[in-house]
Structure 1
Amino acid sequence: MDTSSVSLVRLLPGMAGMALVGSSVTVSGTLVDAPLFTTQAVRYVAATAILLVIARFAGARLVWPRGREWLWLTGLAVTGLVLFNVAVVRGVAHAEPAVIAVAVACVPLVLGVVGPLLERRGPSRQVLLAAPVVMAGAVLVEGTGRTDAAGVAWAALVLGCEAGFTLLAVPVLGRHSPWGVSVHATWLGGLMLALLGAAAEGPTAVRELSASQWAAAGYLALLVTAVAFVLWYSTVRAVGAGHAGLLTGVAPLAAAAVGAVTGSGMPRPSVWLGIVVVVVGLGIGLRPRGTGPGRPTEAEAAPTGARSG
């Protein structure tokens, strides 16, 4: 199999995962009036149970964290799960789904520089050239989409949390695998959110959920958490955080498409233009590169802890 085919296979899980993340922005709009912490706690507890069952059938080996791994995994849960979901749910109350989702597309430059450093290698020039293009498209969408100052602030928090979701996983992916990182992140996040829910919303808040909100929480638990987490971390470990980061540009496309289908509103022409720019940036950063004899791909050159074994 040639190099470009292998690269495409490694990228497909991450693309699918980001499409699911983009779709979650519209779905999260259903949860604006729900008890936030309690709902998300239900989501992650359910996702943990789903992951444990699927991991068992898949033969995945799960190990308990040790030492500094607790810090990485706890930080991942705080930023990528707790704060991220607060920002998304509160953000969609102030902005159209594409505006919040496109904040995720601004992640490539952060991951393109910091990710490779955590993987103990230099940033890819190809990724660094593509990242500003992806970000330019993201800024175009965010600058012309329907939003207010609060919406922009929530979008900025989404950006920081999404970067943390990937970067804080890099040091532990080698030992824990995408399955292990996903399981530990979900139970830690679920525990934190349950404690926050009990303190801020009361232990009976779960009774306030409507049928549509239960359905939204179920969708988020199964597809956007249990499935998307494993897909995303599989690609991060296979190709490195830098290249995987470019795939975050898929999220606003999915958000815009799902928003249009569900009646949340069709994005303005300028928003679509920004999305096209994002796609162009992805093409620049992810186009196949020829590799001669003895010249490894970036993923092959990455340390063992940052790629599939």
Structure 2
Amino acid sequence: MRLSGPLLALSILLSGCASETAEPDPASCKNNTLAVQILGSGGPIADDHRAGASNLVWIDGKARVLIDAGPGSFVRFGEAGAKFEDLAVILLTHFHGDHVGGLPGLLNAGSFSKRDKPVMIAGPEGSDAFPSASELLEAFVGKNGALRYLSPYLDGSADLPKITSLNIGVDGENRKAVMRNDGLEIDAIPVKHLEVPALAFVIKNRGKRIVFSGDQSFLSEGFEQATRNSKPDIMVMHNAISMADGQPRGLHRDGRSIGEATQMAGAQKLVLSHHMRRALDDKEAVVAAIRENYAGPIEFADDLSCFPVLE
């Protein structure tokens, strides 16, 4: 059910506005030269209609980059008209279930596709408590994995495209190159999400920049430095906690911190996703806190919302 009543009130402070997007047209993004589509705008709790965290970057009518694959994103991927064979890369910000729980379903669907080119899955390196990208892939589709019937993905046999993995270090604060291919540039930035190895991603195409913050806390100073004055056309950030006391600020940025990071980057537009009920119920306070630092447009994404960069 969509928000109604006072929670939909527009907040106009300084300049710009904060609004919830209109009812999405699932297939609208493919009609743009470059666009961001939010497949899953929800969080870890199944308390409304939203799928788990997942995003697509469309280039020339094709879904080229998938960022995270939370539960339910498999369904949204199909509704958007995306095709597994068009993906250039799958990027994973971290390995909480609400960000990777839909990946097995997507890989299963991909086994029916006509893809014959390799595809890379890139994500953070592991720790004692979390797997690396390669270990996650082995756990899902390795020869001893849960979906071992899909293990031909790992060597490209049985008419399945080969899937390779890239483990990205989370030490330090510098950008790390992920891909340079066919006009598509992707960098990863380590971020702080308590003790969870986690990354943000910067995607560049045709001189335009899109930043996906992933889940991060105010301690992610390296992210702020790496994106400072980069002027992304769209910055996608999480809306997971309220402005109340006692919120898990070691896990997520609150509205004030989101506004600081967005203003520091010089973002042309802020898209809020990965919504949790506690944040949506405190929407006006969250927006007011963002407005303390950021004066540009703010959009509250829903599942399948499309944000064109180049139409």
Into which bin does the TM-score normalised by the smaller protein fall?
A: under 0.3
| TM-score, normalisation: structure 2 | 0.25
| TM-score, normalisation: structure 1 | 0.25
Structure in which a larger fraction of residues adopt helix: 1
Structure ranking higher on relative contact order (CA contacts 8 Å, 6+ apart)? 1
Structure in which a larger fraction of residues adopt strand: 2
